[in-house]
Amino acid sequence: MAPARPLVEIAWDAVPEGAPRRAHAWRVLAGLLPAEARLDNPCPRCGGPHGPVAVRGAPYVASVTYAGGYAIAAVASTEDAVALGIDAEPLDDARRDAAGMRGVLGDGIASVRDWVRVEAVLKADGRGLRVDPATVVVDATDDGWTAEVPGGEVYDGWDAPGPPGVLLSIAVRIAHFAPSTRS
Residue ranges per structural domain of the chain: 9-173
Instruction: Read off the pLDDT of residues 118-131 as tens digits, 9 standing for 90 and up.
Output: 999 999 998 888 88
pLDDT at 155: 95
Q: Which residue has the higher pLDDT, 10 or 103?
A: 10
pLDDT tops 90 at residue 71: yes
Q: How far apart are CA 170 and CA 157, in angstroms?
A: 5
pLDDT at 175: 65
Instruction: Read off the pLDDT of residues 95-107 as tens digits, 9 standing for 90 and up.
Output: 887 777 776 787 7
For the whole model, what pTM was predicted? 0.88
Residue 1: partners with Cβ closer than 8 Å, 6 or more residues away: none
Instruction: Read off the pLDDT of residues 155-168 as tens digits, 9 standing for 90 and up.
Output: 999 999 999 999 99
For the chain, how many residues are written?
Answer: 183
